[in-house]
Amino acid sequence: AQQQLGREHQGITLRGSAELVAEFFSYGINSILYQRGIYPPETFTRVQKYGLTLLVTTDPELTNYLNNVTEQMKEWLYKCIVQRLVVVISSIESGEVLERWQFDIECDKTAKDDEGPREKSQKAIQDEIRSVIRQITATVTFLPLLESACAFDLLIYTDKDLAVPEKWEESGPQFIANSEEVRLRSFTTTIHKVNTTVAYK
């Protein structure tokens, strides 16, 4: 809380922005998993965040995985070498990709060189994030039903010269053939701008 207050007074630093964006990804991915029914709803518990009641998973394996990815994302966001985070939802049976949630990240690289923090209130960023998450929840109405059992994967688009860490590996982009794309809202912390798109079959 003190840190947050500090941020409110001081503005947004690069590290603070990376943390905010990584946090958003964590809650956003949890919301997507709950809304699309990838995991059974009884494995989710309610928490308060961004002024909303969000559902996060209680499965320890899954939480561990998400935390690993989120920590790595924080680091890469701080270094501004990550371009995109994609949540790929595909059928377990056929391996066919059914949905792609794409979060494009535009990083202002001058923020590293800046001395002072940027002027944007925490509340405004929270409002923007809240509207994005509300929109993610609302997209369930027009997305097609996922009838077969599905699993998800998180892909991160990074700069080519990145050193791939130990437990990570390169993969393909996992496109959807003949997809419909819908652009959702975006939010910005003045250092990182996140655009959300959902592509479905």
d(CA 134, CA 52) in angstroms, rounded, equals 9
Q: Which residue in 70, 158, 188, 189 binds another protein (CB under 8 A)?
A: 158
d(CA 45, CA 93): 28
To another protein, the closest distance from the beta carbon of 196 in angstroms equals: 11
Min dist CB 117 to another protein, Å, is 29
Q: Choose one: 3-11, 16-24, 95-103, 128-136; the region binding another protein (CB under 8 A).
A: 95-103
| Of residues 21, 10, 32, the one with CA closest to residue 154 | 32
- Amino acid at position 63, single letter: T
Cα–Cα distance measured from residue 92 to residue 69, given in angstroms and rounded to the nearest whole number: 22
Does residue 70 interact with another protein by CB under 8 A? no
User: What is 75-95 written as a DSSP string?
Assistant: HHHHHT-EEEEEEEEEETTT-
199 binds another protein (CB under 8 A): yes
User: Which tokens belong to 38?
Assistant: 């990838």
Nearer to another protein, 10 or 171 (CB): 171
Please identify, using beta-carbon distances, which residue of 23 and 152 lies nearer to another protein. 152
User: Would you count residue 100 as binding another protein (CB under 8 A)?
Assistant: yes
Residue 153 binds another protein (CB under 8 A): yes
User: In the complex, what is the shortest distance from the CB of residue 87 to another protein, in angstroms, rounded to a whole number?
Assistant: 11
201: which residues sit within 8 A by CB, 6+ positions away?
A: 98, 99, 144, 176, 177, 178, 179, 180
Positions touching another protein (CB under 8 A) are 62, 65, 68-69, 83-84, 86, 88, 90, 92-93, 95, 100, 102, 104, 149, 151-160, 162, 164, 167-176, 179, 181, 183, 197, 199
